[in-house]
């Protein structure tokens, strides 16, 4: 498994998507496990200044979908060795 997805909706509990309302959009963000813990625990998603304009486009009814990259458990630096 390389990673997993999680979806968060920042809609107010009193608001519902009604007929004729603006359709919610989905935003996909890729992060690592450490940053995901901050997002889940503190409800904060920090980005660099280069993404400021994009973040400002998010509306209350939108969904943020996070893809969490998992750490590699094993890595190889060369071909496998046979018996010596």
Nearest to 66 by CA among 38, 57, 14, 54: 38
- What is residue 7's predicted lDDT score, i.e. its pLDDT? 53
- What is residue 28's predicted lDDT score, i.e. its pLDDT? 86
- What is residue 19's predicted lDDT score, i.e. its pLDDT? 44
- What is residue 74's predicted lDDT score, i.e. its pLDDT? 56
Residues 31-81 pLDDT 10s? 888 888 888 888 888 888 888 888 888 887 788 888 888 876 555 555 555
Per domain, the residue ranges of the chain are 3-12+22-69
Q: Measured between alpha carbons, how far is 55 from 26 in angstroms, rounded to an integer?
A: 12
**8 A C-beta contact, residue 6 and residue 44:** no
- DSSP letter at 17 equals -
Question: 59: burial class by Cβ within 10 Å (0-12, 13-18, 19+)?
Answer: exposed
């Amino acid at each position: 498994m390389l990673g997993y997805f999680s979806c968060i909706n920042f809609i107010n509990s009193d608001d519902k998507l009604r007929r004729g309302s603006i359709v919610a959009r989905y935003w996909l963000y890729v992060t690592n496990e450490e940053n995901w813990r901050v997002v889940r625990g503190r409800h904060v998603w920090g980005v660099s200044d280069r993404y400021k304009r994009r973040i400002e486009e998010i509306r209350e009814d939108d969904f943020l979908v996070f893809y969490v990259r998992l750490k590699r458990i094993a890595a190889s630096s060369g071909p496998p060795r046979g018996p010596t």
